[in-house]
Structure 1
């Protein structure tokens, strides 16, 4: 968009009382942001929700000064700006009624034809949560998903780090402007993330990481992704808010179960118990429920007459060839592999085109 279009959009969003929903109403009614400011008062007054107080604020000249300052910041720092009707705006987020009118981003973000999942959880991640998160992301590498999170302590930063280690694109959604990093100790991760991914926010350079901003941030995390995964959570926490928002947006939610006595599994267990989340025990669960097309990825590998299998894969293949269709848990038991490991083995075998998944967590040799 042109600098002039962006200037008027920024000015509109700076009007006190104009949030994302009202801004969209005004834009739809008037055609563009500049026309909102040039429209006659009776035109604006005809819009549902517009009162005399808002009409006065729309003509407050100080908003143009603030808009110009932010525009200068955007230009001088090479910030990317996505309007909610633009092609480069996160596709799923477009369908959320309260999605931001503008999103500011930095780095090398490419969302075109990509699978997006968000991974969230407690800031007090345990070794159990960290190991599961690491394994999950490693097993998803063949599908090349974009890993989205909130760049906070605990599960968030673990998900970003594991994504970077596996050369997956990862996006940190921030609760403040792009002129700062919070928490400050996470600055060391910025460069690596911006190499393959980056950061997004709806907040201006004048915004601080205030408490209420984190809830607003969570709706972007939930809305822009196909599914939200809660790795660990106490019975209360921001990740549960994200999970509830994802449900409201009709997105799939997954939660990693844990022992009933573990503090940071209580939130996940409750999500599962109240049927607000699917049980997630491995990458295979996610792939099956989301109906991700593993088979199409396999076509690139094309099953050869002699496919090279690792010894563990050969053991599983021989078992399935002999016994026919079998459930994941039984394969693990009979082949003497732990559940977390068999999931990765089966996924790799799917990608090699030697087995296929069936409904009910069944697998069979091809």
Structure 2
């Protein structure tokens, strides 16, 4: 969009009582943000759902003044604005009724032809949660997904760091403007994130820091993704809000189950119990349920290679499958005396080596 269109869109975004849903309705009716701000307010009252409270402040000069200030910040800091009707606006977010009319982007984000998943959870993540999250990202790396999270403590930063470690793109969705970072301790990760993706926000640089911004930010996390994964959550928490929003967008939600006595698993267990999330027991559940396909260059050879080198644990699984033909992942883990998360990773490696292949129902067999 050109500079004039951007200024008027910023000005419309600045008007009190006009959120993204109403702003889109006004733009669709008038043709552009500029046309909205120049339209006779009496004509706007004819639009369904538009009342006097909505348009009360519409034509106040302060909105264009503040918009010009924000435009200077955008230009001075090499920020890329994304308009909701433009081609560069995230495609999945276009289908969300309350998606931002404007997003602000920093870094090197490329969402083209890549699976997008959000990974969220408690800020007080346990060591088990960290291990599962890291293994999840490592296992899914072969599918080249973009990992989206909120750049907060705990689960969020664990997911971002795991993505960077596995050379995956990652996006931090912020609850404030791009002129600051919260928490400050995460400033050391900014360069790595921007080199491997970037940051997105719909908040201005002048936005006040408010805890409610985090709840508003969660709709962007959920809307960007085809699926949201909850690693751990207490009975109440922001990640459960993200799960509810993802469900309202008809997106898939996954939750990692835990023991009923673990406080940080209550939220996940409730999501599964209420049928608001798929039970995620192994990373391979994600590509299986989402029907991800490996690119041709990543697919294992159909013909089994001779003299394939197997690790000790892989050989244990291979020998077990030789004796038992087809077997479910959980049974393989139990009978080979290995953790489920490790078996899922080993099976994926063996699949890439052309030794085993997955079947419906989490079954595996030797090729």
Q: Distance in 1 between matches of 2:218 and 2:319?
A: 46
Shift in Å at residue 321 of structure 1?
4.3
Is structure 2 residue 234 aligned with structure 1 residue 225?
A: no
Match of 2:212 in 1: 212
Deviations along 1:234-291, whole A, 9 cap, x unmatched? 1111111111111111111111111111111111111111111111111111121111
Q: Distance in 1 between matches of 2:109 and 2:264?
A: 32
Report if aligned partners of 1:148, 1:221 keep a CA contact under 8 Å in 2. Answer: yes
Alignment of 1:84-99 (within 5 A): 84-99=84-99
Report if aligned partners of 2:300, 2:351 keep a CA contact under 8 Å in 1. Answer: no
- Which residues of structure 2 form unaligned runs of 5+? none
Q: Call closer, same or farther: CA 1:191–1:301 in 2, change over 3 Å.
A: farther
- Which residues of structure 1 form unaligned runs of 5+? none
Q: Distance in 2 between matches of 1:87 and 1:303?
A: 42
Deviations along 1:32-55, whole A, 9 cap, x unmatched? 111112223343222112223433
Match of 2:326 in 1: 325
Q: Distance in 1 between matches of 2:23 and 2:342?
A: 49
Deviates more, 1:276-285 or 1:40-49: 40-49
So what's the TM-score if we normalise by structure 2? 0.95
Report if aligned partners of 2:149, 2:156 keep a CA contact under 8 Å in 1. Answer: yes
Match of 2:60 in 1: 60
Match of 1:349 in 2: 350
Q: Distance in 1 between matches of 2:208 and 2:309?
A: 52
Q: Distance in 2 between matches of 1:244 and 1:168?
A: 26
Q: Distance in 1 between matches of 2:90 and 2:357?
A: 32
Match of 1:119 in 2: 119
So what's the TM-score if we normalise by structure 1? 0.95
Is structure 2 residue 68 aligned with structure 1 residue 72?
A: no
SS class of match (2:139): helix
Deviations along 1:295-354, whole A, 9 cap, x unmatched? 746437675744734233344344434532211122223334321111001112223343
Alignment of 1:227-266 (within 5 A): 227-266=227-266
Report if aligned partners of 1:82, 1:89 keep a CA contact under 8 Å in 2. Answer: yes
Report if aligned partners of 1:143, 1:297 keep a CA contact under 8 Å in 2. Answer: no
Match of 1:288 in 2: 288
Report the number of matched residues: 366
Q: Distance in 2 between matches of 1:204 and 1:352?
A: 49
Q: Call closer, same or farther: CA 1:225–1:133 in 2, change over 3 Å.
A: same
Q: Distance in 2 between matches of 1:305 and 1:273?
A: 43
Deviations along 1:196-223, whole A, 9 cap, x unmatched? 1111000000013301100000111111
Alignment of 1:1-366 (within 5 A): 1-294=1-294, 296=296, 298-299=298-299, 305-306=305-306, 308-311=308-311, 312-366=313-367
SS class of match (1:363): strand
